[in-house]
Amino acid sequence: MVQGFASTWKKDSERIGDCRRVRKNNNRYTSQISPTASNTVAAAATDGSRVTSSNSESSAGWAVPVEKAIRNGTKLSEKTMTTVKTRRESSARGVVNAITFPDGIRLGTCQHGGGRVGCRAQHKAKQTEKSKIIMKKKFFAAMLCGALAASVLRAEQTNAPAEPAKPPTGGSPKIQFDNTVYDFGTTTQVESVTGTFTFHNAGDGELKLQKPAPSCGCTVAGVKPDVLKPGEKGELSFTVRLSGVRGQIEKHITVPSNDPQNPSVNLSIKAAIQQIYEVNPTQVSIGSISQGVTTNVTVQIHRTDGKKLSITKTEVTGDLAKVRIEPGENDQSAKLAVEVTGKGASRRFGDQVKLFVDGAEQPTLSIAVTGQLMGDVNLTPEALYWGVTDPEHWPGSYPESMTTRRVTITSGQTNKPLEIQNPTSSLKELTLELVPQEKGKTYTLVAKLTESPKESTRGTISFDTNVPSQPKIVVPVTVNVLKR
């Protein structure tokens, strides 16, 4: 069998077997030989014999093995050798013999000259390998282009501005205030000012308002209603305490809502507080006052704008202080007589005296009256408080300061010694111990919190005495548990 060579030979000058002219027939490639070349070459190629002068039109020099005679051929391995078959057939052109190669062989470049034509065979696997390499390169190039395109797309998506929040289905609410600034202008020295902002839902969806947030603790605000259908109206009422304030003031209220375009509205409150009243002293401090003892303090009030001072009404918070209005030196002044009488349980007190001028509905002036009421039995402090910040690790590194509180009990009477009995607590976590410091005069009540309650709680500590005016003393207790 021929070692995988394929070639045609011709002695005359006619060119045959050009690869570019080879036709495909039944998935086989055919190279034809003219009648003048006889079929001896093809026959020799079939059985692997030599081409000699007896079976060729060439001279004896042509009698060499076919594989050596076809110098331009390509040798194939045994695995890929293909049997060359001879096809004998006739045509209008007088072709009598043909050498046919299966699909595994591809005819390569054809050469001619010196009375011969040679076509070199190439194995299809080599082209397949090249094709695979080319395909791999194209594949990796396509992958690289795809990755770059994806990166660009991600960058565009990242840099693109965020889309605005879409309004809820069924329409979008819109809050609209008639005015966002409430200016009281110049006002006299008053305790507080009150006003109202009006608004409505100008959208086509349900408007929901949250609790208004004032800028300071001196301002209280509320909305009504807090849910409005399209077209409905609402009000925001506010009160600003101005006690002791002078000059220009400006307060703010933030109103949050579900308006997607304006989720937070800022309202401003302005006023110029003109001081037209002088008060001396501005605060009355009584100090310590014992049971049954009365203390009097006089407060001078003067109007500075030249108008008559007319105090039309007074109010007092608490049960210890009493007041009365007395004439001053002229129409622009007056005297306020404050009288405090000690009575009841020992405690610190802070009462307020409110004055209304010229028939005003709001108090024009407010004067604080403070002091310490001393009873027949006095407590320091008057209430106990525990703060538990970490219940799981309580009492922590400082158990004494975290668990223990003390109340000093002192007698205010001089005619007989003080006796204390039956200290008890309404909280099961508290244990009590009464320790005499000076018999008949001073005691210390030690309260210890043995464990932290799960929730914040309030309770009391109480004990009995031999004092008729205060037979039973009650101490308020608060335990505040802060959860993380």
Cα 419 from chain centre: 62
Asked if residue 230 has pLDDT above 90, the reply is yes
Sort 69 into a burial class: Cβ within 10 Å, 0-12 / 13-18 / 19+.
buried
Could you tell me the two tokens for 29?
Answer: 């490639």
pTM value? Answer: 0.43
* Other beta carbons within 10 Å of 162: 5
d(CA 227, CA 208): 5
Q: What is the DSSP letter of 257?
A: B
Q: H or E stretch including 153? A: helix 124-159
Give 34 or 155, the one with higher predicted confidence: 155
What pLDDT does 195 receive?
95
Asked if residue 467 has pLDDT above 80, the reply is yes
Sort 361 into a burial class: Cβ within 10 Å, 0-12 / 13-18 / 19+.
exposed
What pLDDT does 149 receive?
61
d(CA 373, CA 287): 8
Give 475 or 110, the one with higher predicted confidence: 475
Task: Name residue 340's beta-bridge partners.
Answer: 295, 321
3-state helix/strand/coil string of 18-52: CHHHCEEECCEEEEEECHHHCCHHHHHHHHCCCCC
The CA radius of gyration of the chain, in Å to the nearest whole number, is 57
Q: Band of the pLDDT at 141, cuts 50, 70, 90?
A: low
d(CA 76, CA 122): 8
Distances (CA, A) of 344 to 76, 159, 286, 320, 379: 125, 73, 16, 9, 13
Between strands 365-374 and 283-290, the pairing is parallel
d(CA 270, CA 293): 46
| Neighbouring residues of 380: CB distance < 8 A, sequence distance ≥ 6 | 407, 408, 410
Could you report the per-residue pLDDT of 425-445, keeping only the tens digit for each?
Answer: 999 999 999 999 998 899 999
d(CA 261, CA 172): 9
Query: Of 289-293, 324-328, 403-407, 433-437, where does mean pLDDT reach its minimum?
Result: 289-293
Share of the chain above pLDDT 70, in %: 65
Q: Band of the pLDDT at 213, cuts 50, 70, 90?
A: very high
- Pair 16, 32: CB distance under 8 Å: yes
d(CA 344, CA 107): 126
- Pair 471, 428: CB distance under 8 Å: no
| Neighbouring residues of 254: CB distance < 8 A, sequence distance ≥ 6 | 212, 213, 214, 215, 264, 265, 266, 267
Query: Of 177-191, 330-344, 428-442, where does mean pLDDT reach its minimum?
Result: 177-191
User: What values do phi and psi take at 69, rounded to 5?
Assistant: -65, -40
User: Angle at CA 406, nearest 5°, toward 401 and 409?
Assistant: 165
- Pair 275, 189: CB distance under 8 Å: yes
User: Angle at CA 148, nearest 5°, toward 146 and 150?
Assistant: 70
Structural domains of the chain ordered from first start: 1-159 (no CATH), 175-274 (2.60.40.10), 277-374 (2.60.40.10), 377-481 (2.60.40.10)
What pLDDT does 68 receive?
45
Show contacts of 17-24: CB within 8 Å, 24+ apart. 17/110, 17/117, 17/118, 17/119, 18/110, 18/112, 18/117, 18/119, 19/107, 19/108, 19/109, 19/110, 19/119, 20/110, 22/107, 22/119
Q: Band of the pLDDT at 300, cuts 50, 70, 90?
A: very high
Going through 225-293 in order, the beta strands assigned E by DSSP cover: 227-228, 233-241, 247-256, 264-274, 277-280, 283-290
Could you tell me the two tokens for 85?
Answer: 């078959």
Q: Band of the pLDDT at 65, cuts 50, 70, 90?
A: very low
d(CA 177, CA 34): 106
- Pair 447, 407: CB distance under 8 Å: yes
Distances (CA, A) of 145 to 139, 148, 150, 291: 10, 5, 9, 96
Nearest to 239 by CA among 212, 265, 275: 212
Could you report the per-residue pLDDT of 346-355, keeping only the tens digit for each?
Answer: 788 999 999 9
User: Angle at CA 473, nearest 5°, toward 468 and 477?
Assistant: 175
